[in-house]
Structure 1
């Protein structure tokens, strides 16, 4: 069953990537996905960060209470801002979490122009996330 879920995630990510993309000079807020993208592995994260100007990576765990409380905020940020939201389950992506120095969840990393720009650890409110995204958008 877990293999089926991973295959569906890969297919959905491939569908998102295969959409017709405007030139980078023509990028607008409408091209970022309206919902979070689930990332599985360093390659998927690297591809997502390379494809979009501003990526908010949410390192989370299903068992984490603050992560569950942050979920509606993350969904709103994905739908209403220019940032692309990438969700990374630390239990299935331990090596990726270690690579980015994630020691607690939730940890949010904002990538701007392909580079890590901000790190936020713990519960965040929507206004704080919007402010950080606008600073780097």
Structure 2
């Protein structure tokens, strides 16, 4: 089972690399950024979710230990998957955190086709995040 998942992961990564290498100027909207997008306010989140098919929103705080541990995982997800990653500092965006009922940190909300589709609270490993994203890419 693990070998099958790893093979699917390799194939998906190869597809993404091929798209990045052959994508013309008109295809740039379908590309997800390879680095997390720092969101400041609801308008920016709405715009990011509208612009990308799949967005993993990471609600975090600088003082949160698990959030700091999750950061390299989230950066890898941004670089290696078809999902855009949005980083939202809850201290700077308290209203947005309240709107999405963020009560524990880190909270990850996966948007697919403009709508919240999955919600994960607490430290997540890379395999879990990839699995959740692959269901929606």
Say whether the fold is shared (TM-score over 0.5). yes
Partner deviation per Cα, 1:91-111 (whole Å, 9 max, x = no partner): 000000000010111000000
Separation (CA, whole Å) in 2 of partners of 1:129 and 1:35: 16
Q: Which residue does the alignment assign to 2:8?
A: none
Q: Which residue does the alignment assign to 1:92?
A: 92
Q: Which residue does the alignment assign to 2:118?
A: 118
Separation (CA, whole Å) in 1 of partners of 2:27 and 2:50: 14
Q: Which residue does the alignment assign to 1:37?
A: 37
Partner deviation per Cα, 1:50-99 (whole Å, 9 max, x = no partner): 00000000000000000000000000000000000000000000000000
| Gap runs ≥5 in structure 1 | 1-19
CA displacement at 1:23 relative to structure 2:
7.9
Q: Which runs of 4+ in 1 moved over 6 A?
A: none
Between Structure 1 and Structure 2, how many residues are aligned? 113
CA displacement at 1:22 relative to structure 2:
2.5
| Gap runs ≥5 in structure 2 | 1-24
1:22 aligns with one of 9, 16, 27: 27
Higher Rg = 2
Q: Secondary structure at the match of 1:136?
A: coil
Separation (CA, whole Å) in 1 of partners of 2:107 and 2:40: 16
**What TM-score do the two structures reach when normalised by structure 1?**
0.80
Give the aligned CA root-mean-square deviation in angstroms: 1.3
